[in-house]
Amino acid sequence: MSIRTNKEAAVKVAANLADSGFAADRREQTLGTALTDYWTRVRSGDLGSLPAILGLVALVTLFTVLRPETFLSKGNIANLFVQALPVTILALGLVFVLLLGEIDLSAGVASGVCAAVMAKLIVEAGQPWFVAVAAALVTGLVIGTAIGALVSLVRIPSFVVTLALFLGLQGITLRLIGDGGTVPVRDDVVVALANRNMPIWLGWVLALVCVAGFAAVELLRHQRQRKRGLAGRPFGVTAARITVLAVAVLGGTYLLSLNRAATPSFDLRGVPWGVPLVALLVVVCTFVLGRTVYGRHVYAVGGNAEAARRAGINVTWIRMSVFMIGSFLAALSGIVLASRLNSVTPDLGANTTLLYAVGAAVIGGTSLFGGKGRAHDALLGGLVIATIDNGLGLLGAKAYANMLITGLVLLFAASIDALARRRRAATGR
Amino acid sequence: MNLTGRARPVADPAGRLVARSGLPTGASPRWEPPVTPLLDVRGVDKSFGPVQVLHEAALSVHPGEVTALVGDNGAGKSTLIKCLGGILPMDAGDVLFEGRPVRVSGPRDAAELGIEIVHQDFALCDNLSVAENMFLGRERRRGLVLDEADMERRAAQALAALSIRTVGSVRRPVGSLAGGQRQSVAIARAMLWGSRVVVLDEPTASLGLAHAQQVLEAARKLADRGLAVVLISHNMNDVFSVADRITALFLGRTVAQVRASEVTHTQVVELITSGRVTPTL
């Protein structure tokens, strides 16, 4: 279609819509109206990423004040990123499950089982890393399929199914690793995920590709909406979004590209290999949830399963698939965690792992009630959780305090979610 | 609103006998309509466990007409509709579409035939926008990617065609709409698909007077465009103001399929409450 006919069509549509009372879709938004709209949304309980960003700022300020020497040191910042990797990946999988209003309490220990499978294959069976990693991922898929089948076909509440697996899977890890045992992970590729850095140039290239890609997608959408006579974000907002992302990505790359070695004779710099992996996962999940039919159906089932069923959506399959995605990403998270710890122990993925991941998803803005949440919630929430974990470590907090605080943070995040939901219901959003 | 000036189809002399006879007609209406009904369901049985809700229920709907489906609570109106929409499987029964036997074993089958149901509870997802709800289950896409702009445009046009102006923006989440607006979205969704049969399940039950009128007008508008409209209602005023035909269910059986012009208000009430009509003269 030529540009001319396109334009004519757009004008025609615009004329039709103007007649029809859908002027709101065409109203030319300015930066001012966009800001007012945003504030109205926040006030009516649609908080988006606001709690996570405010929380991150507050925590960074707090720990900088309490530990000015260590917290913002180059080494610790890199450490923080690496700490956030496994929890972010696990939270990403949980976002899918939470979107349906379900829960996967076994995600943490599932990552432990998968990591144990990988470690045993490398160390005891002498398999190459790709076989071991593939086996771990398949294990994750099998666990997810089992949960999904029990929840969607047998119709046991997911809470009960995954609570049972929470115990059962820990048993499997214990059987694989042995009581009190440790399986060291020394495979170069696996260890590199969380412990080695990309060459400086590759870090910058990937960062630039990331920023350019985001800018291209945003600008293209902006242009397309204009062309079709539909109002979109004002250009100022689009530009601001691109700028914020560019500053965050390029700033992060810069910090990680500085030499952060403790001793001057040593050279330690570059972006850890796990970071682009997480970035890629977030991009893929954002695409799947936001731009594909599958993602739309996940939101629909989470919003109103019966309505989705009547619209011809295969609700059983959607329900099953989110658990498969959740456990698959849990497997990946287990691999990264094993890489970071250089070993697999029977308690890998147990203790606070799951609580951290659920906390990350909820702090990021994913609702426990289903139907609301985005992939980047896991990233923002993961950073918040890693900051808490990291900061408490620097403060030398005792184990009991650590547990108490983590529990309180999860409760706090869930309260915000519940209160925001009530607020939305009250204001009719 | 002006409902008096509508064109009635050619008179159907045989059609009156069913109700006047005062006998339950069950699955086999004794009159033959002049044209093949667009949708003709016969002999529908449906049980929920030990409770048989439908006994050989029947319903014929014709293009360009509003068929009112009446019956007391528990008569099986919604169940019959859900069976023909593929939402509930029927235990027995035939569905003829344009005279051809068809199988409706799921919502998708019904959608392919052009049967759309506006449910009593609207069946909308509160967390999705107006446009997203209207295209739910039938999203338009380009390659792998959803074509949002196209869906928003079509959604707005469909709402505009029904003269629904109160929604404001097709990007609003449905959760933020009032009851009447949700109803409008549900109706607009049903007619977005070049549908042939639109079923409205108690559309006015939860609405204020003004909005109920709008919905009835919309039903008439759809029929005047050549669609077959089925209107489930308890309100006799609604039924007589828009319906061309009336089908009455009593305890799961079809007890009458008549023209609205051939029965009185009282007779319909009698059909609903006792399943029969006392013969007049």
**Residue A259 clears pLDDT 70, i.e. is over it:** yes
Band the pLDDT of A12: cuts 50, 70, 90.
very low
3-state helix, strand, coil in chain A (%, to 5): 75, 0, 25
Band the pLDDT of A18: cuts 50, 70, 90.
very low
**Residue A142 clears pLDDT 80, i.e. is over it:** yes
Domain spanning B14-114+196-274 has what CATH number? 3.40.50.300
| Token reading at A391 | 């900061």
Q: Which amino acid is at B235?
A: N
Q: Which helix (H) or strand (E) holds B18?
A: helix B17-21
Nearest chain A residue to B157 by CA distance is: A17
A422 touches chain B (CB under 8 A): no
The reported pLDDT for the residue numbered A307 is 92
Measure in Å the smallest separation between the Cα of B66 and chain A Cα atoms. Answer: 23
The reported pLDDT for the residue numbered A22 is 57
Domain parsing of chain B, residue ranges: 14-114+196-274, 125-194
With CB atoms and an 8 Å threshold, state whether B125 touches A296.
no
Measure in Å the smallest separation between the Cα of A326 and chain B Cα atoms. Answer: 22
Burial class for B132, CB neighbours closer than 10 Å (0-12, 13-18, 19+) = buried
Do residues A86 and A336 lie in contact, with contact meaning Cβ atoms separated by under 8 Å?
A: yes
Burial B136-160 (b: 16+ CB within 10 A, else e): bbbbebeeeebbbbebbbbbbbbbb
Residue with tokens 């570059």: A270
Point out the residue among B85, B136, B171 whose CB comes nearest to the CB of A25: B171
Average pLDDT value for residue range A155-161: 95
The reported pLDDT for the residue numbered B13 is 39
The reported pLDDT for the residue numbered B165 is 66
With CB atoms and an 8 Å threshold, state whether B153 touches A311.
no
A303 touches chain B (CB under 8 A): yes
One-letter-per-residue 3-state SS of B154-215: HHHHHHHHCCCCCCCCCCCEHHHCCHHHHHHHHHHHHCCCCCCEEEEECCCCCCCHHHHHHH
Higher pLDDT, A36 or A285: A285
Please choose, from the candidates B241, B187, B196, B242, the residue with its C-alpha nearest in 3D space to the C-alpha of residue B220.
B242
User: Any idea which of A206-210, A334-338, B36-40 has the lowest mean pLDDT?
Assistant: B36-40
Query: How many angstroms separate the CA atoms of B116 and A399, rounded?
Result: 60
With CB atoms and an 8 Å threshold, state whether B156 touches A17.
yes
Q: What percent of chain A has pLDDT over 70?
A: 91
The reported pLDDT for the residue numbered B19 is 38
The residue of B127, B164, B166 whose CB has the most chain A CBs within 10 angstroms, and thus the best one to mutate to test that interface, is B127
User: Any idea which of A192-196, A339-343, B31-35, B90-94 has the lowest mean pLDDT?
Assistant: B31-35
ipTM, 2 dp: 0.82
With CB atoms and an 8 Å threshold, state whether B128 touches A372.
no
B140 touches chain A (CB under 8 A): no
Cα angle A116, A118, A122; round to 5: 115
Higher pLDDT, A6 or B66: B66
With CB atoms and an 8 Å threshold, state whether A22 touches B176.
no
Band the pLDDT of A29: cuts 50, 70, 90.
low
Residue-wise pLDDT tens digits, A261-280: 777 777 788 889 999 999 99
Do residues B236 and B228 lie in contact, with contact meaning Cβ atoms separated by under 8 Å?
A: no
With CB atoms and an 8 Å threshold, state whether B119 touches A293.
no
Nearest chain B residue to A427 by CA distance is: B176
Do residues A29 and A225 lie in contact, with contact meaning Cβ atoms separated by under 8 Å?
A: no
- CATH number (1.10.8, 1.10.3470, 1.25.40, 1.20.1070) of A49-196+272-427 reads 1.10.3470
Counting as low any pLDDT under 70, the low residues of chain B are 1-35, 163-167, 279-281
